[in-house]
Amino acid sequence: MALFGRNLFRRRTASQTVVGVASSGLPAPIRWLLGTRFVSRILIYLVPILLTIGVLTLDWSNGWPRFSFNRERATEVKDTAKGLANDVREHIPDSVVEKVRETIPDGLALDRWTSEIARTTLPSATDFSNDPSGALPTIRESGSTIRIASFNIQVFGTSKAAKPQVMQVLASVVRRFDVVAIQELRTMDTTVLDRFVTLINSEGRGYRYIAGPRLGRTSSKEQYVFVYDATRVTVDPESLLTVPDPQDYLHREPTIARFQTRSSTTQPGFSFILANIHTDPDETDTELDALDDVFVSLQQNAWREDDVILLGDLNVSYKKLGELGRLPNIAYTVHGEPTNTRGSKSYDNIVFDRLATTEFTGTAGILNLQQEFGLSMKQAIDVSDHFPIWAEFDVHEHGAQVSLASQPSQSPVARGQARIVEHPLLRLRGSQR
């Protein structure tokens, strides 16, 4: 009892005294928590650092120390730290990564998402025939449809390009689709994409790519890429644009391009605009509420194109699409099925207007890399922490369209040509917020 009493009533430390004075204006429960020996000792070391970098400011004007929190500076520091972490991640030797992974218990890696899958039925159309296993024939039996995919290839750069087994899987994935919107190209080595497409075409295929500029608020930049089968799809190179974002709602503004299928009949080929997006996981509320403006603005495009398809890594499930999900007639192909490799989160989606894009056949899916290629969890994560998602569309146009035939001839590769455009039909409606 004497020991208990001595511990309970022992003298306050210097750190407790300082923190007690500095927190005098706070509610009693918070003052008590901050004034404990453990927390006060941490604060004594942490506060000078936060003051130095400008996250906290100290005001003595009323004779007592008064702290204030600088939210903008805190966000700036956080973004800088994330950028540095991503840069380091890109250049960490593979041997170090393997050592770290060996220490992670399998239970953490195999934690499964068990929530009930909710589904939404599209009016005046058949329900989605989503196939979570993603099993697809390598060569399609029919040329009456095209498959459009989205794939976040985690930290796609020189380190990943140096892994032959990983690149073979990635090349095989692309060959299964006609257009693939890729997110998270994170390298300044311009040969990575060239070598990747060469590998894809090593089996006699005819794929090409177009890529936007490096985007991002921090030092860690990413590029959006479209890889497409030029024997089945054409692209208007002048349509490769970066959507303007003067209010800076979006961490990485979408890159768009306009495509059209090649038709072997007199019926026009399906033409469409793809908007490639990768939201910031810490800012999804803001970004999803801005993407509705992007979508509506793209529907009012100067090409009079009625089919707008927004696809990519949204970092949220279909239930959290915000204002984008509340647009009239909005449709999405993923209804809560896990799209990350660990099977725990639904991040990726393909979004369009169900009344405008009637070319959608009702078939969509998620390509499970583990099942499709017989990979272990570790091998699948080496490829990416996301699975590709895809949707199928009729090769022929159902609505109004303007042919791309009159557009300038295409070059095999368009690199970094996307640009911020000041066009009234491609401008965020920020003034209306």
Q: What is the pLDDT of residues 240-292, one digit of tens each?
A: 999 999 999 999 999 999 999 998 888 999 999 999 999 999 999 999 999 99
Nearest-angstrom CA–CA distance, 385 and 101: 14
Q: Is 180 exposed, middle or buried (0-12, 13-18, 19+ CB in 10 A)?
A: buried
Looking at the DSSP bridge assignments, the partners of residue 354 are none
CA 275 to chain centre: 12
Residue 380 has pLDDT above 70, yes or no: yes
Instruction: Supply the mean pLDDT for the chain.
Output: 78
Residue 18 has pLDDT above 90, yes or no: no
Domains of the chain, by residue range, sit at 2-69, 108-432
CA 221, 423, 248: angle at the middle one, nearest 5? 40
CA 232, 233, 239: angle at the middle one, nearest 5? 170
More confident: 54 or 152: 152
The structure tokens listed for 80 are: 């800088």
- Specify the CATH class of 108-432 in words: alpha beta
Rounded to 5 degrees, φ, ψ at 269 are: -75, 155
Q: Which residues contact 339 (CB under 8 A, 6 or more apart)?
A: 345, 346, 347, 348, 349, 366, 386, 387, 389
Nearest-angstrom CA–CA distance, 38 and 142: 68
C-alpha dist (Å) from residue 433 to 207, 248, 279, 284 = 41, 13, 20, 17
pTM, entire model = 0.68
pLDDT digits (tens, 9 = 90+) for 170-191: 999 999 999 999 999 999 999 9
Contact 145, 376 (CB under 8 A): no
